[in-house]
Chains A and B, each alone.
Chain A
Amino acid sequence: MSPTIFSAASVKKASRQRELEAELEKIKNSTSNTTNTLPAREAAVSPSEEKNTSTPVKKESESPMKQDQFKPIEEKEKDHENEPDEPTKDGAACIQRQPEDYSEVLRHESPTTNPLAAFVVMPPGATFLNQHSKEKILLVLRQHSFINVKWIPISLLLIVTPILFFPVLPLFDFLTSEFKLFAMIGWYLLVSAYMIEQFLYWYYNIYIITDERIVDIDFISLMYRQVSEAKIDKIEDVTATTTGLFAGIFNYGNVTIQTAAEKREFEFLNVPQPAKVTKFLNELLLEEEREKLEGRVM
């Protein structure tokens, strides 16, 4: 009996030894896996947050391992049972929702290819200064095209003025033909300067809404440019205002955004469909809050 009992005990011991070895192997494998996944996790974090996040990630991966090694097997099994199902918080960080998934406004719009449009949805090939690698331009706004009505008739009138009045009025009769010619050229150059200035002012005064922030690019004059930005989560209040007959007819107005950023107020002047812009900004705000709750932080 005793040799049989001895052999059974030795078998138990041997099986226990094998279990322990298997556990050790598991621990080794899991340690190597966590060190391999670290760069990928760090890459998911934006460069600005890299310094802050890299240290805690390492602590998370290393410190539980050390503690884990000294736990009995039964406790380890219990711990494994209590662990949440995949994907975890880290897994969720890799999944970014597409703008169409959470924005009803974008779902009903197709990307705008017209470069002169005032309401540009997800412009293909457009980028802006200091844009992050994963940041997407969702909406680009300019002043409504109707705003150009102010300067286009003036320009046309200035163009036809010499043709209409020079032959009638004998103002420059004392000048030679060369002087007359250069006076005419000078006039048209001035008109073109006015038109170019007005067009550039309209074209480069833009408001960009990305999935991370709002950017206001102001082309104030030929010598002055101003770029202001605020993160979406800094937005506190959005107001749309439509005033005037033409604003009502052509559906344009001002969108005022109060923020907690350095620039307290952003004003998108005379942009088309101000109600839609406000709705879109609210959708972005909601998504930003949802991201925070779910831990999908960019």
Chain B
Amino acid sequence: MNTGLLPITGIISLEGANSLFLTFLKIMFLAGFLIYSVFAFMIIRQTTLMENTYKTTLGPLLKLFSIAHFLVAVGVLVLAFFSLYRKSRSFDNEQSLFCR
């Protein structure tokens, strides 16, 4: 795997820096989406709790919406993981070909 370091000098090459930055960005995106999924799950919990505290006619609809919102958040997380991982792999392959 390309580490982004030049073999002799240990200085980061431009391509390597780009690769490192994109990897960092990918991790940040995935962490952000993961935190958002946790937040979406918390909304489900809170909606259920508040629905138990005060039952209204809109309550079931809100609960349904919060579940749908959670599913969207998890869907985005999964999509981001596979999409960015594949992109990162293809980028690494390009880099390794370039280094040869």
Contact = CB atoms under 8 A, between A and B. Distances in A.
Dominant secondary structure at the A interface: mixed
A40 interface: no
Given A192-B69, A200-B43, A200-B47, A182 B53 contact: no
Contact of A206 (B22, B54, B57, B87): B54
Given A179-B25, A225-B50, A196 B56 contact: no
A283 to B, nearest CB: 23
Contacts of B25: 175, 179
Interface of A: 113, 115-116, 123-129, 175-176, 178-179, 182-183, 185-186, 189-190, 192-193, 196, 200, 203-204, 206, 208, 217, 219, 222-223, 225, 227
B3 interface: no
Contact of B84 (A124, A178, A192, A206): A178
Nearest to A197: B43
Contacts of B53: 128-129, 204, 217, 225, 227
Dominant secondary structure at the B interface: helix
A129 B36 contact: no
B25 to A, nearest CB: 6
Contacts, number: 83
Interface in B4-30: 22, 25, 29
A204 B29 contact: no
Interface string B48-91: 01101111111000100000010001001000100110010000
A178 B83 CA distance: 7
Contacts of B76: 182, 185, 189
Nearest to B30: A182
Q: 3 nearest interchain CB pairs?
A: A115-B58, A204-B50, A128-B54
Given A186-B32, A190-B36, A222-B39, 9 more contacts: A115-B58, A116-B58, A128-B53, A129-B53, A175-B25, A182-B80, A183-B29, A185-B80, A189-B36
Contacts of B47: 200
A176 B42 CA distance: 32
B96 interface: no
Given A189-B76, A196-B69, A129 B84 contact: no
Contacts of A128: 53-55
A129 B56 CA distance: 12
Contact of B55 (A127, A175, A225): A127
A190 B47 CA distance: 19
Nearest to A227: B53
A196 B87 contact: no
Nearest to B25: A179
12 contacts: A123-B56, A126-B54, A175-B25, A179-B22, A179-B29, A185-B76, A186-B33, A186-B36, A190-B36, A200-B46, A222-B42, A223-B42
B29 A182 contact: yes
B87 A176 contact: yes
A196 B55 contact: no
A179 B84 contact: yes
A125 B57 contact: yes
A129 B54 contact: yes
B46 A222 contact: yes
Contacts of B83: 178, 182
Contacts of A193: 36, 39
Contacts of B58: 115-116, 203
Contact of A208 (B50, B54, B84): B54
Contacts of A124: 57
B46 A129 contact: no
Contacts of B50: 200, 204, 217, 219, 225
